[in-house]
Amino acid sequence: MGKLDNKVVFVTGGNSGIGKACAIAAAKEGATVMIADLATADHSAVLKELTDLGAKNAFVPIDVSKSDSVKEAIAATVKEFGRIDVALNNAGVGGPYSGIHDMPDEVWQRIIDINLTGQFYCVKYELQQFLKQGGGVIVNLSSLAGLVAEPGLVPYTAAKHGVLGLTKNIAAQYGGQHIRANAICPYYIDTPLLANLPTEIRKKWEDRTPIHRLGTAQEVANAFIFFASDDSSYCNGSILTLDGGVLAS
């Protein structure tokens, strides 16, 4: 038996990187998977992988920065599969390095709109569905920048700190209604987004960790499965740090 047998898993940003790894891991544990990503994303590869694993799956377009888009994606998932048991709120963006004093307003707003307000929209409509059906699990993707400052990435840091506050509030307010919410805080993860990263920057990031490497998407997926399954049945409002020991050093 899989840890997510007969569960419907909703994954934002599921087309590639961490989201894709988590979606595939969920399928391997027996889940039905809804991939939610931008309408322009080429989702054919991940859907084929899910199908090859024997998992029921589908794609729904979503722009997490738009409340109506999130509402429609949640409704479409419930219409397709009847319910949502686990939601992974993973969609997000980075941003250019900048000081606070000279940051363009539009840069701040875009990153906050996607990384924080987008998380709020997702949990708002996920919670509405969970309350109707009698429970569910939320896993929010934050970042090591949700725990410590990342100089130069001010809106990203602020948003990821906000995600942790949002997660804790869900846990405190809805735990008595069979709803759990937890968060994952990864350090830099080796995904296709880093394919063109300059060698010197990559080495700097690797050297910052005591184990001298970046994390993998599969390692984040392992953490996701823990939080998504009954293995973490007494975890609520918890934060799992995946940083190779950065905070400890």
The residues annotated as belonging to the active site are 156
Helices (H), the chain: 17-28, 44-52, 67-81, 105-112, 118-133, 154-174, 199-208, 217-228
User: Among candidates 151, 154, 150, 246, which has minimal Cα distance to 206?
Assistant: 246
Neighbours of 209 (CB within 10 A): 18
Question: What angle (nearest 5°) sits at the alpha carbon of residue 19, between those of residues 249 and 157?
Answer: 45
Q: Cα–chain-centroid distance for residue 199?
A: 27
Amino acid at 1: M
Q: Cα–chain-centroid distance for residue 8?
A: 16
d(CA 12, CA 19): 7
